[in-house]
Amino acid sequence: MKKMITILLCFMMLFSASACGRQGAVKNTVRGNMQTYYEMNDGTWRCNDFTYQYRLEISGRMPNAAADTTFVYLSNLEEIPFERAYLAAGVSSSTEDYFQPEEAVLVEMK
């Protein structure tokens, strides 16, 4: 009986260790024009030691611009309006318009 319990515990530890290894594994490395970031096997995104739930492509036209711009953010916010995206990209002089690193990070600008 003790032998069976020991074997069962060994299998459980082996299974949990292998599941953790897959979950945190990098699926794809993306070299954005602002930052390098990583798509993880569990569907999250990583950049600068932070994990993000979403990769958002936010497009629109900035005031007085001749063409549209697309900002790619990794974010824990489900939505970011275009105005907030371009202000946080470095246009604003107010620090209140910028994201905290755990909220969102700009990784590409197109």
Q: Answer yes or no: is 16 within a domain.
A: no
Residue 15 within any structural domain of the chain: no
Across 59-78, average pLDDT: 96
CA proximity to 40, closest of 52, 50, 27, 22: 27
Whole-angstrom distance, CA of residue 110 vs CA of residue 64: 17
Q: How many distinct structural domains can be found in the chain?
A: 1
Residue 6 within a domain = no
Does 77 map to a domain?
Answer: yes
17 inside domain:
no
Report residue 110's pLDDT band, with 50, 70 and 90 as the boundaries. very high
C-beta separation of 47 from 69 below 8 A: no
Q: What digits encode the pLDDT tens for the residues 9-62? A: 444 444 444 444 445 799 999 999 999 999 999 999 999 999 999 999 999 999
pTM summary value: 0.77
In a domain, 8, yes or no: no
Q: Is residue 33 part of a domain?
A: yes
Range of the domain at 77: 26-109
Residue 100 resides in a domain: yes
